[in-house]
Amino acid sequence: MLLKIKITLIGIVMSATIFGQEVPSTFKNPIVSGFHSDPSICRVGDTYYMTHPTLEYFPALPIMRSKDLVNWEKIGHAIHRPEQINFPDGLPNSLGMFAPSIRYHKGVFYVVCTCVRCKRNFFVTATNPAGPWSDPIWIKQAIGIDPNLFWDDDGTAYFLAAGQVSGNKKEWPGKNGVYLQEIDLKTGVLKGKPIQLTHGHAANARWTEGPRLFKIDGEYLLMVAEGGTNQYHAVTVFNSKNIKGPYVPNHANPVLTHRHLGYTYPIVKTGHADLVQTQNGDWWSVLHAKRPIDGYSVLCRETFLAKVEMTRQESGVTPIYNPGIGLLQLEQQRPNLPWTPVPKRMEKDDFNDNRLDLEWICLRSPKTKWYNLKNGALELKLRPEVIDSLVNPSFLAQRIRHHHFDVTTKLSFATLVENEKAGLVLYRKSSTHYQLLKEHDKITLTKTVAVNEKGVESTKELIFSHPYKKQEVYLKLVGEGLDLQFYAGENLSDLKPMGAIQDFSILSDEIAGRFNGTVIGLYATSSGKKSKQKASFDWFSIKENK
Mean of pLDDT over the chain:
94
Phi and psi for 492 in degrees, rounded to 5? -65, -25
Q: Which CATH superfamily is domain 2-333 in?
A: Glycosyl hydrolase domain; family 43 (2.115.10.20)
Gap between the Cα atoms of 464 and 498, Å rounded: 6
Amino acid 20: pLDDT = 57
CA distances from 392 to 11, 386, 424 (A): 53, 8, 16
Q: What is the pLDDT of residues 157-168, one digit of tens each?
A: 999 999 999 877
Q: What is the pLDDT of residues 92-131, one digit of tens each?
A: 999 999 999 999 999 999 999 999 999 899 999 999 999 9
Q: What is the pLDDT of residues 2-11, one digit of tens each?
A: 333 333 333 3
Amino acid 185: pLDDT = 97
What is the residue-wise DSSP string for 345-387? P-SEE---SSS--TT-BEES--SS--EEEETTEEEEE--S--T
Amino acid 493: pLDDT = 93
Amino acid 254: pLDDT = 98
User: Does residue 209 carry a catalytic annotation?
Assistant: yes
User: Nearest CA to 136 among 151, 157, 148, 120?
Assistant: 120
User: Nearest CA to 442 among 422, 407, 466?
Assistant: 466
Gap between the Cα atoms of 190 and 213, Å rounded: 18
Q: What is the mean pLDDT of residues 497-520?
A: 96
Catalytic pick among 38, 274, 349, 420:
38
483-489 and 502-503 strand pairing = antiparallel
CB contact at 8 A, 73 and 65: yes
Return the bridge partners of 462, or none. Answer: 446
Sequence ranges of the chain with CATH classification 2.115.10.20: 2-333
Amino acid 210: pLDDT = 97
Phi and psi for 132 in degrees, rounded to 5? -75, 155
Q: What is the maximal distance between C-alpha atoms in the chain?
A: 79
Contacts of 415 (CB under 8 A, 6+ apart): 421, 439, 440, 533
CB contact at 8 A, 466 and 496: yes
pTM for the complete prediction? 0.95
Return the bridge partners of 120, or none. Answer: 115
Enter the DSSP assignment of 85: -
Gap between the Cα atoms of 445 and 424, Å rounded: 10
pLDDT at 186 over 60: yes
User: Nearest CA to 123 among 76, 72, 93, 157?
Assistant: 157
Catalytic pick among 56, 182, 209, 379:
209
Tell me whether the omega of the peptide bond preceding residue 100 falls within 30 degrees of 0, making it cis.
no
User: Nearest CA to 537 among 470, 474, 492, 465?
Assistant: 474
The phi-psi region of residue 338 (left if phi > 0; otherwise alpha if psi is between -120 and 50; otherwise beta) is: beta
Q: Percent of the chain scored above 90 by pLDDT?
A: 91
Amino acid at 111: V
pLDDT at 379 over 50: yes
Gap between the Cα atoms of 286 and 235, Å rounded: 11
Q: What is the pLDDT of residues 18-70, one digit of tens each?
A: 445 689 999 999 999 999 999 999 999 999 999 999 999 999 999 999 999 99
CB contact at 8 A, 169 and 143: no
CA distances from 406 to 209, 291, 483, 488 (A): 36, 19, 12, 13
Gap between the Cα atoms of 292 and 301, Å rounded: 10
CA distances from 52 to 132, 231, 278, 314 (A): 18, 21, 20, 34
Gap between the Cα atoms of 80 and 84, Å rounded: 8
User: What architecture is the 348-544 domain classified under in CATH?
Assistant: Sandwich (2.60)
Contacts of 173 (CB under 8 A, 6+ apart): 206
DSSP run (H or E) holding 26: strand 26-28
CB neighbours of residue 123 within 10 Å? 24
CB contact at 8 A, 343 and 73: yes
CB neighbours of residue 29 within 10 Å? 21
User: Does residue 38 carry a catalytic annotation?
Assistant: yes
Sequence ranges of the chain with CATH classification 2.60.120.200: 348-544
Amino acid 168: pLDDT = 79
Phi and psi for 252 in degrees, rounded to 5? -80, -5
178-184 and 189-198 strand pairing = antiparallel
pLDDT band at 452 (very low <50, low <70, confident <90, very high): confident
Amino acid 369: pLDDT = 95
Gap between the Cα atoms of 373 and 363, Å rounded: 19
pLDDT band at 17 (very low <50, low <70, confident <90, very high): very low
Helix (H, G, I), strand (E, B) or coil at 241: coil
Enter the DSSP assignment of 217: T
CB neighbours of residue 330 within 10 Å? 12
CB contact at 8 A, 374 and 53: no
Q: What is the mean pLDDT of residues 415-442?
A: 97
Q: What is the pLDDT of residues 312-366, one digit of tens each?
A: 999 999 999 999 999 999 999 999 999 999 999 999 999 999 999 999 999 999 9
Return the bridge partners of 487, or none. Answer: 476, 497
Amino acid at 70: V
